[in-house]
Structure 1
Amino acid sequence: MLIKTPSPVLPTLIFDMDGVLVDNTPYQARAFQLLFRDLGLTTNARQLLRRLNGMPATNILKTVFRHPVPEKQLKEYASQREFLYRTLYWNKRRAMPGLVPFLEAARAAGHNIALGTGSPPETISYIVDHLDLRRYFDVVIGKDDVAKGKPHADTFTVAAAQLGVRPEDCIVFEDAVLGEQAAYRAGMRCVAVGSSLKEKNFQHPLAYVKDFTGFTPERLLELLARQPHAPKPDKQRAQRQYMHLE
């Protein structure tokens, strides 16, 4: 009797937004730096984001004050930073090179595709809808959809749950160390997008790409075969206040 071998599950693809769909980290950093200047803070925003990128802005802001700041005040600072960022980035919004062809190829191949970001709905719309990218995503998970942001796994596990897929059948695309750790905490594998960090700063991604130029779903499946299981999260890398990246 001929026994049929089950077909491999086509992985679900989960994309972070900032630094993955768009190369906007320098503008995010500049907005934070302008806010810090107004607040009389000397924190280096670029170095700060290299450590804490992926977290909601209010959580990032908590780390720069030596005294407790009320949540209401943090939200006001975050709104000010968001206004500065949108002003700086308004005419610069472009999809990451190669992103749209990759999304179209992945959609044609039958992959489920999700967006998993720590941004609120209005910030997601500022990027995703302006660039007409929402049509590629089966679900969109943002800050308001989860209890805990990155490096916690919620962003990615909620995306998988909404799509009805297993975490082990998901691949995350992330540009931040905290995002990579969130993927591993969720039991997912990760492709590192090097828009702001060097390859050595990541733990053990499936691949390290500067952008999506020439990257294909077929190549992704080849890489997947080489890493059958998600790496275990590295607790030291997820210690937000202690990371010192070169």
Structure 2
Amino acid sequence: MDGVICDTNPYHSLAWKAFLEKFGITSSEEEFIAHMYGKSNSYILKYFFKREIIGEEFAQMEFEKEALFREIYAAHVTPIAGLIEFIEDLKANGVKMGIATSAPYLNMELILSILPLRDKMQSLLASEDVSSHKPNPEVYLKSASNLDISPERCVVFEDSFSGVTAGKAAGAKVVGVLSTYKKEELPVCDAYVPNYNELSFQKIKDLFN
């Protein structure tokens, strides 16, 4: 979802900066690129606090940071260029679709409350639905199961190193969305796109030929 449906990362950066400053922790965009984008909140908190954050402390910190993100981002929810039209093309051609995000459920709900996507999706999975986060492939394997399609017949859209790794580990085709990283900064994908303006059902179908 983040960096794939919407370019949320600049707003996550703002939220993380504000959150970390409360604890006297300074952060840089370089650190966010290396240790925030595409990473789970447990990893991010461990990196910046230099210790494991678990249990109730983790739950409270995560809720506070993500609530801050939703407050900042709510007025700016915008799909990546061409996404809605691409989704409608896939839907018209009978493609089953799902969202598989490392973000909390409430973040997904914010975006689905604004963008016309909910009725196009047959599977919705957020961080609460898995025990192991990306780069572990669990969220994609569960999505494929929900869609009743073998992972090898699925296409994953990802913008981060850990996400691409998870998609490939699940056995799916992976399209790298270059909203956050450059092509050379991601693992090898089956295709790369800057946005969805030039994508179509036929082009996705061609990945399997």
What interval of TM-score do these two structures reach, taking the shorter chain for normalisation? over 0.9
Q: Is the 8 A contact 1:54 1:178 kept in 2?
A: yes
Q: Is the 8 A contact 2:179 2:194 kept in 1?
A: yes
Deviates further, 102-111 or 58-67: 58-67
Structure 1 residue 140: Cα displacement: 0.8
Q: Report the equivalent of 2:132.
A: 148
Alignment of 1:1-246 (within 5 A): 17-44=1-28, 47-225=31-209
Q: Is the 8 A contact 1:150 1:178 kept in 2?
A: yes
Structure 1 residue 221: Cα displacement: 2.2
Q: Is the 8 A contact 1:116 1:140 kept in 2?
A: yes
Looking at structure 1, the residues matched to 59 and 28 of structure 2 have their Cα atoms a distance apart, in angstroms, of 20
Q: Normalising by structure 2, what TM-score?
A: 0.93
Question: Quick check: which one's helix share is greater?
Answer: 2
Q: Is the 8 A contact 1:171 1:191 kept in 2?
A: yes
Structure 2 unaligned regions, length at least 5: none
SS at structure 2 position matched to 1:63: helix
Deviates further, 158-167 or 213-222: 213-222
Looking at structure 2, the residues matched to 79 and 62 of structure 1 have their Cα atoms a distance apart, in angstroms, of 16
Task: Output the aligned Cα RMSD.
Answer: 1.6
Q: CA-to-partner distance for each residue in 1:141-191, whole Å, 9 max, x for gaps?
A: 111222211110100000111121111111100011100000111111100
| Greater C-alpha Rg | 1
CA distance 1:50–1:98, shift in 2 (3 Å):
farther
Deviates further, 87-96 or 71-80: 71-80
Structure 1 unaligned regions, length at least 5: 1-16, 226-246
Higher RCO (CA-CA < 8 Å; seq separation 6+): 1
Identical aligned pairs, as a percentage? 27
Looking at structure 2, the residues matched to 69 and 171 of structure 1 have their Cα atoms a distance apart, in angstroms, of 33
Equivalenced residues, count: 209
Deviates further, 131-140 or 66-75: 66-75
Structure 1 residue 50: Cα displacement: 4.2
Q: Normalising by structure 1, what TM-score?
A: 0.80
